[in-house]
């Protein structure tokens, strides 16, 4: 199927079925299609808050994948995790119903905008996309936004605006972002992740290079000048590049960086002049780099520096990115999506910059392949904190063909406690946490529910 055919199918009264509709980019896609007049149904493996929201808007969602779910659909859009052996994909093909990828639809949608800003990177995509969205909202640009998490400023992970700019978080998994058509692409960093698909760091670099080349001939590519893998990936590409980083050799860089309680302050220089004076409320060097990337994008789009200053001074983070959940026994509880060793390192570094006496982490590894590939890295990073409670691995799309478990990981971390259930984690932390502690619930699976439970226990005990 070509994009032109998909374009003809997105019309008022057409019937679309979305496989994996509860996903972070599928649920906003369902909403965008519905607003275009398409009658949408969907399916997913389990209920979620996103699905609840879709159902409140009148979208029918089936729990579980079944051949009968595609009945009446004129076309199918699937998430990257819905493989060719998915029963709904098999049924659609048996019936001659065209099947498109999620990225096909977003790629088609973005072609209708003057500015298509696509934010990619192994780490930091959600936060940086959220920062750019908040800047454009503050600038009254009325952007259309698709983020892989909830931005408090819009109360959602997406919005459909009336302006000429669309901002999208752009995922490399299964090369999904190769179907995008950015006029301004941002590469935050390149790391060895999703090795179940890519197989090697070199393949990851090649994928990001291809993404950069998807940028329009007259567009620009914003790159992390501090990241060697990024520089290697885009070396010599036939596109104008703008670098950001902490060194004066970058096109957009910071000066006078100082760490504050829970954040940082620094000046952003562009074109050898101070563009903006930034005061961040989110901690960590990684967020300084995320903010520099957002500033580089805003500068390139012509947003005044004072607008950037205002927007980032009010930015409090995206959902599940160092998100405050409450207190337990006088300890602060924060939740974070970190699920790769590099992300864990950034999170623990940020935690170390804060005035806590101890750091307690409840961690749920995400996928067997990632845990196996980065086993020693996970063990090294988690060994840096005071207490570690390990939930069983969140399998997501995988079967455990490599034979790794969280019990194995716990044995490699001094003092770590393996917890067969979330109930065990809640009991351990409720007994252990005390004033002056930072409690982190960390991972891309379902461990955020632990933070919520702990916060409720803390509220009840404070009454």
| Distance between CA atoms of residues 155 and 46, nearest Å | 23
Cβ proximity of 159 and 101 under 8 Å: no
* pTM: predicted TM-score of the whole model, two decimal places: 0.83
The fold of the 111-313 domain, in CATH, is 3.40.1190
Q: Has residue 400 got a pLDDT over 50?
A: yes
Higher pLDDT, 281 or 461: 281
Higher pLDDT, 103 or 439: 439
Q: Has residue 229 got a pLDDT over 80?
A: yes
What sign results for the dihedral spanned by CA atoms 223, 226, 229, 232?
positive
pLDDT at residue 164 in the model: 95
Other beta carbons less than 10 A from residue 1's beta carbon: 12
Domain(s) labelled CATH 3.40.50.720 in the chain stretch across: 3-101
Q: CATH says 323-462 is which class?
A: alpha beta
Q: Which residue has the tokens 């840096």?
A: 384
Tens-place pLDDT, residues 131-177: 999 999 999 999 999 887 777 778 777 888 889 999 999 989 889 89
Residue 335 tokens read as 């939740």
Residue 419 tokens read as 């917890």
- The CA-atom distances, in angstroms, between 417 and each of 17, 344, 360, 427, 440 are 43, 18, 11, 12, 15
Domain(s) labelled CATH 3.90.190.20 in the chain stretch across: 323-462
Cβ proximity of 123 and 340 under 8 Å: yes
Q: Has residue 2 got a pLDDT over 50?
A: no
Residues 6 or more apart whose Cβ sits within 8 Å of residue 205: 190, 229, 232, 233
The arrangement of secondary structure in 3-101, i.e. its CATH architecture, is 3-Layer(aba) Sandwich (3.40)
Tens-place pLDDT, residues 47-95: 888 899 899 999 999 999 999 999 999 999 999 788 899 999 999 999 9
Cβ proximity of 165 and 117 under 8 Å: yes
Per-residue confidence band for 463, with pLDDT thresholds at 50, 70 and 90: low
The percentage of residues in the chain with a pLDDT greater than 90, rounded to a whole number, is: 77
Per-residue confidence band for 3, with pLDDT thresholds at 50, 70 and 90: very low
Q: Has residue 1 got a pLDDT over 50?
A: no
């Amino acid at each position: 199927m070509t994009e032109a055919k998909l374009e003809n199918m997105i019309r008022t009264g057409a019937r679309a079925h979305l496989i994996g509709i509860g996903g972070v980019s599928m649920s906003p896609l369902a909403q965008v299609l519905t607003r275009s007049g398409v009658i949408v149904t969907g399916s997913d493996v389990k209920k979620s808050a996103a699905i609840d929201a879709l159902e409140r808007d009148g979208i029918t969602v089936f729990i579980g994948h079944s051949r009968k779910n595609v009945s009446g659909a004129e076309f199918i859009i699937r998430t990257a995790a819905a493989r060719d052996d998915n029963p709904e994909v098999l049924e659609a093909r048996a019936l001659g119903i065209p099947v498109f990828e999620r990225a096909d639809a977003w790629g088609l949608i973005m072609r209708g905008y003057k500015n298509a800003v696509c934010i990619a990177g192994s780490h930091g995509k959600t936060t940086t996309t959220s920062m750019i969205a908040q800047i454009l909202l503050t600038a009254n640009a009325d952007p259309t936004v698709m983020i892989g998490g909830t931005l408090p400023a819009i109360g959602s992970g997406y919005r459909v605006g009336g302006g000429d700019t669309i901002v999208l978080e752009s995922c490399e998994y299964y090369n999904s972002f190769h179907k995008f058509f950015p006029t301004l692409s941002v590469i935050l960093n390149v790391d060895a992740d999703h090795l179940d698909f890519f197989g090697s760091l070199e393949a990851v670099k090649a994928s990001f290079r291809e993404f950069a080349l998807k940028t329009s001939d007259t567009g620009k590519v914003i790159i992390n000048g501090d990241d060697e893998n990024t520089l290697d990936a885009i070396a010599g590409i036939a596109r104008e590049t703008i670098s950001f980083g902490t060194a004066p050799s970058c096109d957009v860089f910071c000066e006078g960086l100082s760490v504050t309680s829970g954040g940082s302050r620094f000046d952003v220089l562009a074109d050898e002049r101070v563009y903006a004076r930034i005061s961040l409320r989110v901690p960590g060097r990684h967020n300084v780099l995320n903010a520099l990337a957002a500033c580089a994008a805003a500068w390139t789009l012509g947003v005044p520096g004072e607008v950037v200053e205002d927007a980032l001074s009010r930015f409090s983070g995206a959902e599940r990115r160092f998100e405050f959940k409450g207190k337990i026994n006088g300890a602060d509880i924060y939740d974070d999506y970190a699920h790769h060793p590099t992300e864990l390192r950034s999170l623990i570094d940020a935690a170390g910059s804060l005035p806590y006496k101890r750091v307690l982490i409840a961690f749920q590894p995400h996928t067997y392949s990632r845990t196996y590939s980065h086993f020693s890295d996970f063990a090294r990073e988690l060994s840096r904190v005071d207490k570690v409670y390990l939930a069983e691995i969140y399998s997501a799309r995988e079967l455990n063909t490599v034979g790794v478990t969280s019990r194995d990981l716990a044995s490699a971390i001094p003092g770590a406690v393996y917890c067969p259930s979330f109930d065990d984690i809640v009991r351990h932390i409720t007994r252990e946490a005390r004033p002056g502690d930072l409690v982190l619930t960390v991972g891309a699976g379902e461990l955020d529910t632990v933070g919520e439970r702990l916060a409720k226990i803390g509220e009840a005990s404070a009454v």
